[in-house]
Amino acid sequence: MRMNRVKDKVLMFSESFKGKHMAVSYNYIKIATESFDQKNLIGRGSFGLVYKGRICKEGPLHAIKVIDMDQEGSMKTFVAECKALKNIRHRNLVKLITACSSTDFKNRDFVALVYELMSNGSLEDWITGKRKHINGDGLSIVERLNVALDVANAINYLHNECESQVVHCDLKPNNILLDDDMTAKVADFGLSKLLTCEDSKHSISLSNTFSLRGSIGYIPPEYGMGQKPSAAGDVYSYGITLLELFTGRGPTEESFVGGLSLKKWVEKALESNRVNEVVDCNIVMNMGKILNKKGECCVSVEKEWRCLNEILEVGILCTVDSAEARLNIKDVLSKLKSISHTIINS
């Protein structure tokens, strides 16, 4: 009975796509991915595999997320992603092209989501060095700041500019993708939640089936105590991502043991004026190389260090334990824009 209700929801979302999105069947997806050939596999997620392929023969390449229907909760994540993305549009959100709800050649349920293809991969790939520029360089301080602003703009749109507030619930570098010109876009809304006025009034979950939303290391502490997803929870995940972006260190690294965490490590460095010990070495190696349109160095190394201090301070303010005491995303945007102005207009 429960599965039938979920299928009804999928049908409803499929109907809502008519007139806005082209309809595709299992066969379209099979042809586009060349029978799900491994050479077209570009990613793996919690609920399925992502392939590249052309839905239209002469059209552009797309990213096609094929949901693993054998995984518990897979249909639920498909419905959540459809629900979150069908009516939202922003330059810093990965664009959903269409959704497929069909059956395969064995008459088994088959669902997939088709997105624009982000040619420069995930932010995680850039932070870990799996991806670099043609000249071998990683992300510069300016590129990292631009990524931080892009993501903050996306979250601000979801929290403050949508008809119904959307909480992403799984913000992390692996769910932030980069396009041809290195514009960052937030992806993967499988755990997202549309908040109603009722949700805002009652933040504590009383359900016996409450499940923790998010990824280890990025989940805010209040979720572990039973509180429902909230905008403040997204801000916490954003803060951890911001710290990771500028330190090059992830929150689940083995070195963070015995009570030490990414947040506490950065906090100690800020308190003792030793930020140089935590900033990503790739940033340090390229300091003093920010050029103006004339090709001249336009930002002093001292100013770059001041900006890095301010950026890390924003990350710490986003990750305080108390959800009520955290910055809201509008304040985050304001602070980062001010820092960006300092560097770009030097």
CATH code at position 200: 1.10.510.10
Least confident of 64-68, 80-84, 319-323: 80-84
Quick one: 109 and 127 in the same domain?
Answer: no
183 and 150 Cβ atoms separated by less than 8 Å: yes
Question: Tell me: the pLDDT tens digits for 252-272?
Answer: 999 998 889 999 999 999 999
- Could you tell me if 286 and 304 lie in one domain? yes
pLDDT score of 325: 97
pLDDT at residue 204 in the model: 42
Same domain, 235 and 169: yes
Are 28 and 157 found together in one domain?
no
Which range marks the domain in which residue 25 is found?
2-116
Which residues sit opposite 43 in a β-bridge?
50
Q: Are residues 269 and 337 in the same domain?
A: yes
If asked whether residues 242 and 300 sit together in one domain, one would say yes
Q: What's the pLDDT at 187?
A: 93
Catalytic residue among 170, 188, 234, 280: 170
∠ CA 303-184-145, nearest 5°, is 5
Q: Please name the residue ranges forming H helices in 174-300.
A: 197-201, 231-247, 262-271, 281-285
Nearest alpha carbon to residue 280 among 247, 245, 242, 244: 247
Buried b (16+ CB within 10 A) or exposed e, 227-243: bbbbbbbbbbbbbbbbb
pLDDT band at residue 2, thresholds of 50, 70 and 90? very low
- Active-site residue flag, 181: no
Signed CA dihedral, 203, 88, 92, 52: sign only: positive
Average pLDDT over residues 278-297: 80
CATH of the domain at 37: 3.30.200.20
Query: Final residue of a domain: which of 50, 83, 116?
Result: 116
CB count, 10 Å around CB of 193? 21
d(CA 145, CA 339): 9
Say whether both 34 and 101 belong to one domain. yes
Are both 81 and 216 inside the same structural domain? no
Q: By three-state DSSP, how is residue 166 classified?
A: strand
pLDDT in tens, 184-216: 999 988 888 887 655 544 444 333 334 567 899
Q: 118-161: per-residue pLDDT in tens?
A: 999 999 999 999 999 998 889 999 999 999 999 999 999 999 99
Among residues 64, 92, 116, the one where a domain terminates is 116
Q: Total structural domains in the chain?
A: 2
Same domain, 111 and 184: no
DSSP symbol at 93: B
pLDDT of 315 higher than 60: yes
- Please, which residues have CB within 8 angstroms of residue 40's CB and are 6 or more apart in sequence? 33, 34, 51, 52, 53
- Given a contact cutoff of 8 angstroms between Cβ atoms, the answer to whether 86 and 16 are in contact is yes
Of 82, 116, 150, which marks where a domain is finished?
Answer: 116
Residue with the bigger pLDDT between 87 and 48: it is 48
